[in-house]
Structure 1
Amino acid sequence: MRRPFRRVPRRQPGPQAFHTVTVRQRIVRLTLVGGLTLLALLLLLTTLDVKRKKADTAEERPKKAVSRTVPSIPRLNVPPAYDTTRGWEITGVSPDHAVAVDTDRVAYVERVDDERFRVRTLDATTGERTWDGAPWWPLFPGDRYPRLLSVAKDGEEYFVAWSYGRPDTEERKPPQPLISLDIYKAGDGTRRRVELPWPNAPVVRGSGPGIVVSDGKATSAVVDPATGDVVKAGTGSLGYPKGCENCRKLTEVHGLTDKGLLVGGVREFWVRGGWYSRKTAPKGTDAASGVPASLARGHLLARWQPKKGAKDARTHQVWALHDAANGKAVAQVRCRKPAIVPSEDPQLVASPNGRYLVAGRLAFDLEEKKGYCFEEPDGTDPLTLTTVTNDGVAYGATSARNVTDALTRGGEPVQVDLTTGVPDPLPDNVRLASGEGTSTGLFRWTDAKDVPHLIGYARRGGG
C-alpha cells in the first residue's frame, strides 16, 4: 500500500550557518569585483600601449587642428611697421619656433602633460591652426622642451623636433644614447620618426637640404627629411683638398649644401666632392685664410683676412657671402676686427623672400650684390641685427651683447633701410621681432606669471 505524502519540516540553520553563507557570498563578490577591476586595468594599459605605439610609427597623419579665435591680443610696443590691432596670440609655447616660408606656417612645441609633447602649426598671417601632431615622449625628462628647427629639400619644407638621451627601459645595462627626430611635412603634418645612435651630445643643424648631426668636430651624419635615410661620415671620408694642411687641423663639419657636406679646418674650407675655398677666395683677401660662419637659404657667410700688405690688414676683416653651390663670392664688406672675439660666429637670417640676409653687424642685398657693416669707423657701437623683412628693413639694437640680448630688450633698438643703408633709432621701449613670416612679425614676451607668449602682428602694407 502506497504511503501518503508527508511534508518534512525544513531544518532551520543556526547562527554559524548564516555566518558561513555570508562569508562565502562576500568572497565570491570580492573575487568578481577584483576580476572586473583587473580586466579593466588590463584593457586600459593595452589601449594606452596601442596609442603610444601608434604615435611612434614611422609615418603618421596628424589630426586636423581646431582653430582657436583669440578675442583680443596684447598690444606690445613694437616698431611702427607692425599693426598691433591685427594679429594672433598663443601661450605656453616652447623656446623655439620655426617658420616654413613657402607655406607661411609657424610651428611650435606644446606640452601635453608632464612627460609628453606635440608639434602644432598655424597660419602665420591669420593665426588659424592648420594641423596638430600626435603626442610623443622625448628622450630626456619632461622638464625641458624638445628642440625645433626647419629644413627644406626639393621644394618641400619640413619641421623637425628632436631630443637626445637614453631610452627608458627595464634592462640593467643602460641603453646606448640616441637622437630621436620627429620629421613633419610642413604642408600636411605627415610625420616620420628617425632614431640615430649617438655617443655624445650632438650638434643638430637644418640650414641645408638635410638634417646634419655632428659631434662638433669631424664626425657627422646626414638625415634625409624626405625618406629618413641616414648617411654617416667620419674623418676618413671628408675628401680633404690636396695639399691643404690647414684643412686637417681642427676639422669640423659646418653644414650641408646642395653639393655636399661643408667642412672646414683651422683655416680654409671646402664642400666634399665640390668646391674649395682657396680657389674661390674673394678679391683682395688671403686665399688661405677663410673661416666658414653659417649657412642660410643657399648662401654661406665666411670670414677672410685681407691680403698681406693691405693698408687695413691689421685692423680689418673681410666678410663675404658665397653662393653655396659653387663657392663664388656674391657680396663682401670690410669690418673692424672685434676687440674680443665673439664666442659664436654671427648666424645668417634671411628675409622671407631670400633677397636680404643679416648676421650680427652685417647685412647683404643679393639683388644689388652689396654688403654693409654697421659700426662706427673705429669699430665701436656695432649693431646686432635680428631680422629683416621682404622690403629690406632690418631690425636690431646697438650695444647689445648678442641676438638674445637684443631680443630681450638689451641695447638701444634701431631699424635700418637696406635700400639706403641708413640706421634710424627706435624708442627705447620697443620690442623687436624674433622672426618674420611673409606678412607677419613674430614677437615673444613673458607675462607676470612666467607664461611665455608668441604673438603675430600683421605688417602694414604686407611687405
Structure 2
Amino acid sequence: MRTTRAALAVILAGVLVAGCGADGDGGPDKSGAGRGEGAHGSLAKLTVPAAYDSGRGWDQVLDWVPEDAAADPVATDGETVAYLVRSGDGYAVQARDGATGEVRWTGAPYRTPPMAPDAPGAVEIPGVGIVRQGGRTYVVVWATGERTGDALGKSEDVVQVGIYPADASGGSVAPLHRVSVTVDTQESAVEVRDSGAGLLIMWRDAGHHSAALDMESGKVTRYDDAAALIPGCESTTCLDSRAVAVTVKGPVINGAQGGMGVPDGWRGEDVAPEGVEAGRTFVSGEQNGTLTGVHDGRFVARWRQAGDSGASVRSAHDLADGRLLASTACEEDGQEPELPPAASPNGAYLAQGTVLFDVKAGKGLCLAGDETRRSVRIGAVSDSGTAYGVTYPESSARSVVELDASTGSPKVLPEGTLLPAATLDGAALFTQRENGTGLRLSVRLEK
C-alpha cells in the first residue's frame, strides 16, 4: 500500500497552492474541483534536496490534524496524492494529480465510528492508503471505533473501511464498498496495511488475528488461527503464528518461531537467498525467514545468516511465487523499529529501514552502522535510484542524507533540508508539522 507514515519525516498536510499560488475555501467544493483547506498564499519556503525545485509545485494544509496524531492521513502511488479534509461533521477523501495539484475527485462525507473510551495508544484519526489489486487501483480510508450495542447486543470494536476507485472524477464520489470489521483493541492498537492483494487488518487478542479485505467485492476473510493453516506443523512450534500478507493462493504465514510461506503455495526454505540457514535447523524447532513488509506485490524478508555470526540477510521477493529478486547481508542492532517498505514510482527500487534493493539489477545494499558509522534508514527513493534517509539512532543529532543506489555512499545534506516523505513521478512529497495548527503537505517538482 502506498501510504506515508510518521516515522522518519512524519507526513502530511493542507492549503492548495499550484504554481505560484491559489485561493483556499476551507474545504472541498461540491464539484470536486475544490482548492483545498486553509489559508491562501504563495508556496511555502522549503529547503529541499538539490534534485527538486523549491519554487515549483503545490501545497495543502490540513489544520484539523491534532499535534499528537498517531499517523498522518495521506497516501500516494507516485501519480495521485490522496488525503482527508474535514467535511461537515465527518471527513472526505480528496485526490489530486501529483504533478499539477489539480483535484481529480472528492469523496462523499465519511463519518467515523465513535472512539472507544479505553482504546490504547496515541490519538486515533482516520487513515488513508492506496492499494492495487487485480490491475486496478483503489483509495481506502479507515477508522477504528466502537459500534454501539442495543438491548440485545453488546458494543464492539470495529474498523470501518471505505473503498473508492482511484480513477474516479467529480465531487461527492460514493465508495464502492463500506465495510465494518470486528476487532479487539484491548491488547494492542490495530494495524492496517497492504496485504499484497487488498487490505490487511491486524490486531492482537489472546493471539494474533488478521482480516483480509478484497477491494473488488468488499469480502472479508478472517485468519484467527493461522497455525491451523500450516500443514503438519506441531502446535508448540506454530502457536501464535500470524497471517501477514495475502496472495491469490492464500495467506502468507509468519511462523511464531520463524519460517514463512503460503500453505498451498511457496515455502520460505524454497526461496531463501544464498548464505542463510534454511529449513528447520534448531532443536527448538525454529525455522528461518520472516516477512517484514509488503509493498505493491513484493515483500522484504529477514533471515539468519549461516554459521555462528548471528548476522542477518535481507532479501526482496515477488509475493505471488516467492521468487527471489535481490539480497544482501546486513547485520543490524536488533533495536531498530520496523518501517513500512518504500519504493520508487517505477518499481525499480525497494527499501526498508537500512536496506535498499535494486530489484531490476538483483542487487542489495546494506546501510546498517558499525563501530565508526551510524545507520542510515531509507524513507524514499526516486526512479533514478537516488535514496533519501536519516541517520539513526535518533537520540543523537539526526542528519538527512542522500545516496545513489549504484554507489551506496551517503552524503549529508545541509542542515534544515527536508526529507522526502515519498517520491512521485517527477516530484517528491514533503510534510511538516505546523506547530499545533495541523500538517502541511508540499509537492515539489524535479528540476
TM more than 0.5: yes
Aligned twin of 2:157: 177
CA offsets, 1:200-228, max 9 Å, x none? 45332224111112324543222111111
Counterpart in 2 of 1:349? 342
Task: Give 1:324 shift.
Answer: 1.4
Alignment of 1:36-435 (within 5 A): 64-68=31-35, 71-92=41-62, 95-101=72-78, 104-113=79-88, 115-141=89-115, 144-168=124-148, 174-188=154-168, 189-191=173-175, 192-200=177-185, 202-216=190-204, 217-235=207-225, 238-243=228-233, 248-265=238-255, 266-287=257-278, 288-308=287-307, 313-338=308-333, 340-342=334-336, 344-378=337-371, 380-401=373-394, 411-435=398-422
- Structure 2 residue matching 1:121: 3-state secondary structure: strand
Alpha-carbon distance in structure 2 between the residues aligned to 1:424 and 1:215:
39
Whole-angstrom distance in 2 between the partners of 1:392 and 1:327: 24
Tell me, what secondary structure is at the counterpart of 2:56? strand
What TM-score results when the alignment is normalised by the length of structure 1?
Answer: 0.76
* Contact 1:247–1:268 (CA under 8 A) maintained in structure 2: no
Count the aligned residue pairs. 384
Q: In structure 2, how many angstroms separate the alpha carbons of the residues matched to 1:199 and 1:125? A: 40
The CA deviation at 1:168 is 4.7
C-alpha deviation, 1:347, in angstroms: 2.5
Which amino acid is the alignment partner of residue 97 of structure 1?
A: V
Distance 2:192 2:124 in 1: 17
State the alpha-carbon separation in 1 of the partners of residues 323 and 399 from structure 2: 35
Q: Pick 1 or 2: higher relative contact order, CA cutoff 8 A, min separation 6.
A: 2
- Counterpart residue number, 1:439: 426
Distance 1:422 1:236 in 2: 42
Which is richer in helix? 1
Structure 1 residue 270, shift from structure 2 partner: 1.0
Q: Which runs of 5+ in 2 are unaligned?
A: 1-28, 66-71, 117-122, 279-286
Instruction: Check 1:391–1:247 CA distance in 2 against 1; reply closer, same or farther (3 A cut).
Output: farther
Report the equivalent of 2:3: none
Residue ranges of structure 1 left out of the alignment (5+ in a row): 1-61
Kept in 1: contact 2:149–2:156 (CA 8 A): no
Structure-1 separation of matches of 2:94 and 2:347:
25
RMSD: 2.7
Q: 1:307 to 1:170 in 2, by over 3 A?
A: closer
State the AA in 2 paired with 1:125: A
Distance 1:328 1:172 in 2: 51
1:82 offset after TM fit, Å? Answer: 0.9
**Contact 1:63/1:134 (<8 A) preserved:** no
Task: Give the direction of change, closer, same or farther, for the CA distance of 1:238–1:149 in structure 2 (3 Å limit).
Answer: farther
The 1:375–1:341 alpha-carbon spacing in structure 2 relative to 1, beyond 3 Å, is: closer
Rounded Cα–Cα distance in structure 2 between residues aligned with 1:284 and 1:71:
56
Question: Conserved in 1, the CA contact under 8 Å of 2:115 and 2:144?
Answer: no
Distance verdict in 2 for CA 1:64–1:353, change over 3 Å: farther
The alpha-carbon deviation at position 67 of structure 1 amounts to 4.0
1-structure distance, mates of 2:208, 2:435: 45
Quote the offset at 1:451 in angstroms.
2.8
Distance 1:227 1:315, change over 3 A: closer
Q: Which amino acid aligns with 1:136?
A: Y
425, 442, 447: which is aligned to 1:455?
A: 442
1:303-353 Cα distance to aligned partner (Å, 9 max, x none): 111223xxxx42521111122122232211112231x433x3342111111
Following TM superposition, by how much is the alpha carbon of 1:301 offset from its aligned partner in structure 2, in angstroms? 1.1
Q: 1:278 aligns to what SS in structure 2?
A: helix
Matching residue's letter, 1:411: R
User: Residues of 2 paired with 1:198 and 1:346: CA distance?
Assistant: 23
Contact 1:100 1:158 in 2 (8 A): no
Deviation, 1:373, is 0.5
Measured in 2, the distance between the counterparts of 1:242 and 1:315 equals 28
The answer on whether the counterparts of 2:157 and 2:182 sit within 8 Å (CA) in structure 1 is yes
How many percent identity over aligned positions? Answer: 27
Distance 1:415 1:123 in 2: 26
Q: Kindly tell me: are residues 130 and 434 of structure 1, through their superposed partners in 2, closer, same or farther at Cα, counting changes over 3 Å?
A: same
Distance in 2 (alpha carbons) for counterparts of 1:220 and 1:144? 20
What amino acid is aligned across from residue 268 of structure 1 in structure 2? G
Shift of 1:74: 0.8
